[in-house]
Structure 1
Amino acid sequence: MKLYIKYMVSNCCKLMVKEKLSALGLTIKNVGLGEVDIDGDVDVTQLSVIQKTLHKMGLELMIDNKLIQIERIKTAIIDMVHYSNEAPEKTYSAYISEKLEGDYPYMANLFSETTGYTIQQFIIVQKIERAKELITYNELSLSAIATKLHYSSLGHFSNQFKKVTGLTPSFFKALKTKKRLALDEILKNSTKN
């Protein structure tokens, strides 16, 4: 059985969820971002216990199929932007469609109707958050960051960064006091709209 979990967007979350669900006596086959494969099925009572356990960790068990699809889209994007060093060999839409084995226009419409913003806007926000993280580490030049995040040029990266944050990347780098949002905060804020 597959469980879908909202706000589960980091490796730390994966470890905590695996530990807590194992402690409940569930046999975990696989843990991914936003989802857990367990051996066998769970009954209503177990589902309630799982929900309460996840809630204590700031996570939510999802049951609505549309919300599950939205979280799967977000998780695929987060995985692509934050955890993959290679550019998708295809367009973002083709990557998402292939990864989730679904019709991209349907997913894009569902995403927009449910969240109030487009998949492309979500990708941009994720890329800028990743850029802020990389700038804060101060290990790469701005050109290297633009390349790593698959921007066509430093100018394109700078324009998009300024549009989202109100600051140029070089000013942000000099500022060093601007706090980044945690991934789970971005997701929580984005679902409240």
Structure 2
Amino acid sequence: MTTLFIKNMVCNRCIMVVKQELERQGLHPEKVTLGEVTIREESLTPAQEDTLNNALVNLGFERIDDRKARLIDAIKSKIIQMIHHTDKVDLKVNWSSLLSEEMHYEYNYLSNLFSSFEGVTLEQYIIKQKIEKVKELLFYDELSLSEIANKLGYSSVAHLSNQFKKITGFTPSDMKKSRNIDQNRKPLDSIS
């Protein structure tokens, strides 16, 4: 078995697309998760690697070989999974403990590594991901602002509104009223 690390796998649709591409190339995916694929093959020939790498790039993905880059991608995948793909009712998470435990490194190391690679702090990245989730929830208009704040772990609606305005330039209420939400949403893998 071989494990491949793939950048920009941020949703269930990404998993499906990568799995289909692997199968199309005659490979046998055993496990496909956000950012990581295990295939039955012991190794790939250089020609198989080139073909796979080109196909992944054409689909908007990229294989990662560097250990630090894989760690950054794993951090991003965990944050995206927790914020966008978890059915938890309440996202009051101690991010430093969660990431340290999941990645098996001290948080200070993870934070410094993330900042040096991404140009933003881990905290800023988490906030930006949460703001994208707020935009999504505002767009679907199923929850009140108070419920959204609670769901995403904000201490108050005011705290959420302040962060939202700082990132987007709008208050959540203004954006909701303008129905301009969809135009301001970003793909999750382009948030930095």
| Unpaired segments ≥5 residues, structure 1 | none
Number of residue pairs aligned between Structure 1 and Structure 2: 187
Aligned partner letter, 2:109? Y
Shift of 1:131: 0.3
* Cα distance in 1 for residues equivalent to 2:3 and 2:104: 16
2:116 equivalent among 107, 113, 116 = 113
* Cα distance in 2 for residues equivalent to 1:43 and 1:88: 44
* Cα distance in 2 for residues equivalent to 1:121 and 1:44: 39
* Cα distance in 1 for residues equivalent to 2:19 and 2:133: 26
The secondary structure found in structure 2 opposite 1:129 is helix
Aligned partner letter, 1:104? Y
The secondary structure found in structure 2 opposite 1:3 is strand
Corresponding residue for 1:44?
Answer: 46
The secondary structure found in structure 2 opposite 1:150 is coil
Q: TM-score, normalised by structure 2?
A: 0.92
* Cα distance in 1 for residues equivalent to 2:107 and 2:48: 34
Query: RMSD across aligned C-alpha pairs, in angstroms?
Result: 1.4
Corresponding residue for 1:20?
Answer: 21
**CA deviation map 1:14-55 (0-9, x unaligned):** 101000101111111111111111123223222111101101
Question: What percent identity do the matched residue pairs reach?
Answer: 44
Shift of 1:101: 2.2
Corresponding residue for 2:143?
Answer: 140
* Cα distance in 2 for residues equivalent to 1:45 and 1:103: 38
* Cα distance in 1 for residues equivalent to 2:78 and 2:46: 29
* Cα distance in 2 for residues equivalent to 1:24 and 1:38: 12
The secondary structure found in structure 1 opposite 2:44 is coil
The secondary structure found in structure 2 opposite 1:135 is helix
Equivalences for residues 140-179 of structure 1 within 5 A: 140-178=143-181, 179=183
Aligned partner letter, 1:32? T
Q: TM-score, normalised by structure 1?
A: 0.91
2:77 equivalent among 61, 75, 78 = 75
After TM superposition, the runs of 4+ consecutive aligned structure 1 residues lying more than 4 A away are 87-90
| Unpaired segments ≥5 residues, structure 2 | none
The secondary structure found in structure 2 opposite 1:108 is helix
Aligned partner letter, 1:155? A
Equivalences for residues 51-130 of structure 1 within 5 A: 51-86=53-88, 87=90, 91-130=94-133
